[in-house]
Amino acid sequence: MESAYPVERSKTTQTRLVLPPDTNHLQTIFGGKVLAYIDEIAALTAMKHSKSAVVTASIDSVDFVSSATVGDALVLEAFVTSTGRTSMEVYVKVHSNNLLTGEEKLTTESFLTMVAVDEYGRPIPVPKVIPHSEEEKRLFDTAPARKANRKDRAMIGKEKL
């Protein structure tokens, strides 16, 4: 597969309301709930880009920058930053928005690796990406370093076995 698509094609946005059952005793959202949202939007984003089913290969990093509280809206934005032969790196950022005051803040940033698969669960080739915005270009240019870091972590994990 030699096709390539603009990063814009994969961009996905979701909005979620933080409800009391989603929070801890401090009335801030559980990190695991945010992770579930991140994994879901990353999968949707990768499926949009590859036009195929995908599986999560890794969650490379998750940085919880600030918390969201009951009543906040979480706005999740994701896009494919780079691709390998069958894999896609997806960047997800989450902002919380206090709908009463208008205050908005970055709460979480994450990188995930998704792999496109066929109906038998076997990896299949994916299109390349073409970055346009400054943010897209920066993340595209820094993707090889993140990929090398993933490979290093995998090698360390195998050595421990």
SS3 per-residue string spanning 76-123: EEEEEEEECCCEEEEEEEEEEEECCCCCEEEEEEEEEEEEEECCCCCE
Residue-level pLDDT at 61:
85
**Would you kindly state where each structural domain of the chain is located, as residue ranges?**
4-160
How does pLDDT run along the chain (161 residues), one tens digit per residue?
569 999 999 999 999 999 999 999 999 999 999 999 999 999 999 999 999 999 999 998 899 999 999 999 999 999 999 999 999 999 999 999 999 999 999 999 999 999 999 999 999 999 999 999 999 999 999 999 999 888 887 777 667 66
Spelled out in words, what is the top-level CATH class assigned to the domain 4-160? alpha beta
